[in-house]
Amino acid sequence: MTAEGTERRNDRGLALVSVLWGVSILSLMAAAMLTAAVSTAYVDRNRWNATRGGAVDDAVVNLAVLELMDDRGDHQPRVDGTPRSLVFASVPVRLWIQDESGKININFADRGLLTRLFESQGASAREADDLADRILDRRNSVSERRGPGALAFRNTDELAAIGVPPDLLARIRPAITVYGRDGTVNMDVAPAETLLALPDMDRQSVADLIKRRNEARMASTAAPSSSPVGGAGSTFTIVVEAHIGTARVVREAAVQFTGDRQRPYWFLSWK
């Protein structure tokens, strides 16, 4: 083979390598574009699912409010925090309604109840005493500065500001409230976390009480009440959880009923 032939063969080999490299680069670019397109579609779908889930949550919150205003006994919902499953607009939903009168009001509860609350959820006796004292100190300070009746806590998250550890706050949260004007606890609707903090209550007695409540509720369906659950001055926390695809959307609202026909209720919180 002549030198010229060899040179031409080398040129063709280089051209082939260049073409192969070009094809490889284009393939990588196409794969990257396809991956980006799939990722964008996935993100967009999740956003749509989250938006749809939020709309469903909002609708179910308002549906729960209407149920609380219903004076037909067989249409009245449970308000002791027992979860309920339903389907709304083809979306599976979980709904919790809790009457706030069944919780411990941190603005009015006495020291003994506050101490038992912390101890029932894992705090040591020393830590429980210290945290109860901090709550009372804040209440006394606010009362001195703003006058009797001023609320020391506007929401339960403010307990973190006086040193309640996040994990302990998460455990006591189902049992505490800032809604209402006294420290009484309605045992008919109190969640287990509240009942555990009451005098002479342990896990077995709490389980027995809840069982009796459920049996009494079943028996009462034969003679349903003609008064709405949402009476004037009553406050309820409504939690709705919707699942659409991989999206999980939770709405929590606190609603208070006024007894006013023009404006029968208002929302105290919405998150």
Write out the E strands in the chain: 84-88, 91-99, 104-105, 176-177, 235-244, 247-257, 265-270
Q: How many domains does the chain have?
A: 2
Reported as a pLDDT band with limits 50, 70 and 90, residue 236 is very high
> pLDDT tens for residues 10-61?
555 555 455 555 555 655 555 555 554 444 544 456 788 888 999 999 999 9
Instruction: Say which residue, 148 or 109, is predicted with more confidence.
Output: 109
Asked whether residue 40 is assigned to any structural domain, the reply reads no
* Percent of the chain topping pLDDT 70: 80
The answer to pTM > 0.95 is no
pLDDT given at position 64: 96
Q: Are residues 222 and 131 in the same domain?
A: no
Question: Of 175, 194, 215, which residue constitutes the final position of a domain?
Answer: 175
Q: Are residues 147 and 162 in the same domain?
A: yes
- Angle subtended at Cα 30 by Cα 29 and Cα 36, rounded to the nearest 5 degrees: 90
Q: How many residues are there in the chain?
A: 271
| Per-residue tokens: 131 | 């945290």
Q: Are residues 138 and 265 in the same domain?
A: no
* Percent of the chain topping pLDDT 90: 66
Q: Are residues 209 and 235 in the same domain?
A: yes
pLDDT given at position 21: 58
> pLDDT tens for residues 64-85?
999 999 887 667 899 999 999 9
Q: Are residues 156 and 267 in the same domain?
A: no
Asked whether residue 19 is assigned to any structural domain, the reply reads no
Q: Are residues 249 and 211 in the same domain?
A: yes
C-alpha–C-alpha distance, residues 200 and 81, integer Å? 22
Q: Are residues 117 and 159 in the same domain?
A: yes
Q: Are residues 116 and 159 in the same domain?
A: yes
Asked whether residue 13 is assigned to any structural domain, the reply reads no
Q: Are residues 156 and 216 in the same domain?
A: no
* Amino acid at the residue 161: A
Question: Of 144, 175, 206, which residue constitutes the final position of a domain?
Answer: 175
Asked whether residue 240 is assigned to any structural domain, the reply reads yes
Q: Are residues 261 and 249 in the same domain?
A: yes
Ordered DSSP codes for 8-64: HHHHHHHHHHHHHHHHHHHHHHHHHHHHHHHHHHHHHHHHHHHHHHHHHHHHHHHHH
Question: Of 175, 196, 227, which residue constitutes the final position of a domain?
Answer: 175
151 is in which domain, residue-wise?
A: 106-175
Q: Are residues 91 and 225 in the same domain?
A: yes
Q: Are residues 135 and 265 in the same domain?
A: no
Instruction: Say which residue, 41 or 9, is predicted with more confidence.
Output: 9
pLDDT exceeds 50 at position 196: yes
Asked whether residue 153 is assigned to any structural domain, the reply reads yes
